[in-house]
Amino acid sequence: MISLEREGAVGQISLHRPPANAYNQQFALELDEAVETVRADDGIQAAVLTSTLPRFFSAGADVKFFQASTLPQKEKFILRMHEVLRKIELTPKVFIAAINGHCLGGGMEIALACDLRFAAAGAYGLGQPEISLGILPGNGGTQRLPRLVGKGRALDLMITGRTVPPDEALSIGLVDRIFPAEELLAKTREYADALTKR
């Protein structure tokens, strides 16, 4: 589900759980292992986090998995994701999310934990639509989103469940750069590589 490659001083963590990179316990475990490897490897100075799927960065938590879980399983799952995202956020190495498609709910929270978010141009949405399930973002979105876009915009996105296209995401500060879809990964890696040489 999660792969880690290294080229020079740049690590690339790729999400791969078709059809939408909806994450479950195993996904969280593998993501944690990849993040820990990046943190521990002195040869990696920056990391790109992206998806192998053409239409989705991540649709967030696997709702079916979550609904079928017991309360202790849910608590363990949420705690692990909190820990993984805190590791990404607090790592002294730069993490850049290369968002190539729909980035929703818990998927948005993965991107929010990164230092920078670069997005592909295209017709897809970014946001926190958890309200449509009767819940609030559970993996740090309620804290990280307001820091990026301001309290009012964050509240609007969370209480309406509205998603925004990449150009609007750029204008409100949710993403930092937009590249043509076919150039996103190369441009993000190029940026990360340049950082490692400073």
Cite the active site residues.
109, 130
Cα–Cα separations (whole angstroms), residue 111 to 8, 29, 70, 72, 141: 23, 17, 27, 26, 10
Six-digit token pair at 147? 């820091």
User: How long is the chain?
Assistant: 198
Strands ordered across the beta sheet of 56-58: 56-58, 102-104, 126-127, 163-164
Strands ordered across the beta sheet of 116-120: 2-7, 10-15, 46-51, 94-99, 116-120, 177-179
Cα separation, 195 vs 61, whole angstroms? 32
